[in-house]
Chain A
Amino acid sequence: MVSLRRYVARRLLLGAVTLLGVVVAVFVLTSVLPGDLASLKLGPYATEEGLAAMRTELGTDRPVMVQFVDYVSKLVRGDMGRSWLTGQTVRQDMSQRLPATIELALAALVMALVVGHVLGILAAVRRDSLIDQAVRGFAILGASTAIFWLALVFIYVFYYRLDWAPAPVGRLDVGSERPPPVTRLYVVDSLLAGDWELFTSSLAHLALPALALGFIVTAPITKMVRAAMLDVLHSDFIRTARAIGVPYRSIVMRDGLRNALIPILTTIGIVFGYLMAGNVLVERIFAWPGIGQYAWQSLISKDFEALRGFILVVAVIYVLINLTIDLLYSVIDPRIRLG
């Protein structure tokens, strides 16, 4: 047991070091890189006085170390600055927009997990068959698909041509009242409130962006499930189980999948990166009011504290997810901490 405790302590320490590094990196990215914020903000026709005034306003005329200490001390108090665009604090903006992003990401992830497992298991069980080759081709195609293009194709087909989906703007029909906030995920909240019409409307708005995002994320999950299942199905204990006559179906579903779950868990961490990158593009296309769209707006309008806030939040969530997964593993699978 000592080794587990030591492993966890070491991993937590490493996580803390990484988080500190992330804060430094975000600061370096947004303050030390050669780009002059004042001139980025004011554009090519700015006057010298204008630039100087803007630098004073932004605080970028101070020494870098002073700016850094200022940034960190504010951050410790939960202050991520203020957005020029919305006039609110970045923290308020983020917490308002995060539920929309979580709703979209969860929908995409659930879809990808289901499809990815079905395809991955099918391919692994019938290795090198036609199904296997089709699934592998699909996984490579998924990894090659430009998500912003796929989203546009979906809009053309399902909105313009077939008229199955509502106009790609936001989370609800224009003029609809928001459901009473419980989880702040509209699909769940409208169901909790018993409002059927609102539920179908929010689900319809969610469908296309979630499909686009889900398609991209399905590829790495499928690949991982297939590889993990192949590994497990070729191990000794499965051969023993088959030799003593356990039905193959129950071997695959019970012993195979359960043991394959551990490597599959890692992909969730990687997939989060895909989700966040895809998010910015998909939320922009569907005018989905989440943090991805916020990031895009702040990029375009040089709203730099908002951008800084977005990068920091994404990186911190990413680190925490990977940390959690690593810790989960070490508890589930003793080989990892001993190896």
Chain B
Amino acid sequence: MIVSVRLSAMSIHPSMASAAQQVRDFWRLLRTHRMLAAGMLILTVVILAATVGVVLVPYHPLEVAAEIKLQPPSLAHPMGTDNFGRDILVRVLYGIRLDLRIAFMVAFTALVVGTLVGTYSGYYGGRVDDVLMRITDVMMAFPSFVLAMAITAMLGNTIPNVIIAIATSYVPFFIRLTRGEVLSARELGYAEAARCVGNPEWRIMYLHLLPNCLTPALVQATLCLGWAVLDAAGLAFLGLGIRPPTPELGVLVGEGALFIISGEWWTSVFPGAVIVLLAFGFNLIGDSLRDITAQEER
């Protein structure tokens, strides 16, 4: 694994590899890990479509036109129209933007909270660690979607609440991962050295240990992006969190669900396919990153 060894070398000592070398390494990485490349390609296309497409499509996501309701896909409306005559393509494009925003906020929140708490727990150990681990046990006793469902239901249907709810259900995974890493790293030479020269505890924890224990959590965060898209859309489909007429992918599938039995398949098949595509892209990247980092450790 020459590629990955060099990858880790350059992440620790950025000065050692020139910019051109880094680009070359990145290309080689994509060539050897085709699933990673496929995931990146999918996401690039979808994100490009969502940013550029919104400008190109001549409709507004909330524009109602009763005379063209429930039209099958055509040149004017590539994904058809819904029961209010709204263009589904433009609603899907806006939906991608919203769902991506939610997914990144969720992964970021869970990553920050989880790694901070996990580092603390792993570094101090003892009673604090015991209590924190029991709390994560309890949080993990709820299937994460069910937990997110309950929190959203209690907090109320707003976008920030959806983000809080889903992020909360992911936090225990980050705590566990980071704690495990810190637990073994705190005994290593560099932590010992930092302690010897008189660094305060918080500096050792968050400036010395945390950056070196971050890799598994970052990989996990990539996977969480995919889960978050699925969970946010699932909640919206159930009528929780984001509500119609907001163009969100789960809302779109839910709105179209009523018409699937009467044959107007395009109303929910297209938005749902985009959900799967997004999640597939993130999962391809997350899975390959996990393989790559696992190989590096060996």
Q: Are B268 and A152 in contact, with the CB atoms below 8 A?
A: yes
Among A146, A152, A159, A311, max chain B CB count under 10 A is at A146
A281 with B156: CB separation less than 8 A: no
The 0/1 profile, CB within 8 Å of B marked 1, for residues 280-309 of chain A is: 110011000000000110011000000100
Using known A-B contacts A273-B143, A318-B142, determine if residue A30 contacts B234 with beta carbons closer than 8 Å: no
Known: A276-B146, A307-B150, A311-B142. A149 touches B280 (CB 8 A): no
**Residues B269 and A29 in contact, CB atoms below 8 Å apart:** no
Could you say which residues of chain A place their CB within 8 Å of the CB of B283?
Answer: 140, 143-144
| Distance A274 CA – B234 CA, assembled complex (angstroms) | 13
Contact B234 A29 (CB under 8 A): no
**B 145-164 to A, binary, CB cutoff 8 A, 1 in contact else 0:** 11001110111100000000
The answer to whether A144 touches B142 (Cβ under 8 A) is: no
Report if A315 contacts B (CB, 8 A). yes
Q: Interface size class for chain B?
A: 35 or more
Collect the chain A residues with CB atoms within 8 Å of residue B155's CB.
33-35
- The interface residues of chain B lying within 8 Å CB-to-CB of A24 are 138
Interface hit among A14-22, A76-84, A185-193, A249-257: A14-22
How many A residues touch B, CB cutoff 8 Å? 52
Q: Does the CB pair B137–A146 fall under 8 Å?
A: no
Interface string of B176-200 (1 = CB under 8 A from A): 0000000000000000000000000
Give min CB distance, A145 to chain B, whole Å.
5
CA distance A63 to B262 in the complex (A): 52
Distance A158 CA – B202 CA, assembled complex (angstroms): 60
Given A21-B137, A140-B287, A314-B143, check contact A149 B265 (CB 8 Å): no
CB of B5 closer than 8 Å to a CB of A: no
B279 at the A/B interface (Cβ < 8 Å)?
Answer: yes
Q: Say yes or no: A144 contacts B260, CB within 8 Å.
A: no
Taking a contact as CB atoms under 8 Å apart, the answer to whether B287 and A281 are in contact is: no
The B274-298 residues at the A interface (CB cut-off 8 A) are: 275-276, 279-280, 282-284, 287
Q: What is the distance, in angstroms, from B285's C-beta to the closest C-beta of chain A?
A: 10
CB neighbours (8 Å) of B272 from chain A are 146, 148-150, 152-153
Q: Smallest Cβ distance from A222 to chain B, in angstroms?
A: 13
In the complex, chain B residues whose CB is within 8 Å of the CB of A277:
143-146, 234
Q: Decide: A280 and B280 in contact? CB cutoff 8 A.
A: no
Q: Looking at the assembled complex, report how far the CB atom of A18 sits from the nearest CB atom of chain B, in whole angstroms.
A: 5
B110 an interface residue at 8 Å Cβ cutoff?
A: no
Give the contacts of A125-182 with B (CB-CB under 8 A): 136-137, 140-141, 143-150, 152-153, 155-156, 159-160, 167-168
Interface assignment of A42: CB less than 8 Å from any CB of chain B? no
Asked if B54 lies at the interface with its beta carbon under 8 angstroms from chain A, I say no
Contact A29:B260 (CB < 8 A) given known A149-B275, A153-B269, A273-B144: no
Contacts of B284 in A (CB 8 A): 140
B141 in the interface, Cβ–Cβ < 8 Å?
Answer: yes
CB neighbours (8 Å) of A155 from chain B are 260-261
Q: Which residues of B contact A284 (CB under 8 A)?
A: 238
Q: Does B112 lie at the interface of the complex (its beta carbon under 8 Å from any beta carbon of A)?
A: no
Q: Chain B residues near A114 (CB, 8 Å)?
A: none
Given contacts A35-B154, A277-B143, A315-B141, 7 further A-B contacts (CB under 8 A): A140-B35, A144-B276, A152-B268, A167-B261, A280-B145, A296-B238, A299-B153
Enumerate chain B interface residues (CB-CB to A < 8 A): 35, 134-135, 137-139, 141-146, 149-151, 153-156, 226, 230, 233-234, 237-240, 250, 253-254, 256-257, 260-263, 265, 268-269, 272-273, 275-276, 279-280, 282-284, 287
> Can you give 28 contacting A-B residue pairs, CB < 8 Å?
A21-B138, A21-B141, A29-B151, A34-B155, A35-B154, A35-B155, A40-B154, A140-B35, A144-B230, A144-B279, A144-B283, A146-B230, A146-B233, A149-B253, A149-B273, A153-B272, A156-B265, A160-B262, A277-B143, A277-B145, A277-B146, A281-B234, A285-B257, A295-B149, A307-B150, A311-B142, A314-B142, A318-B142
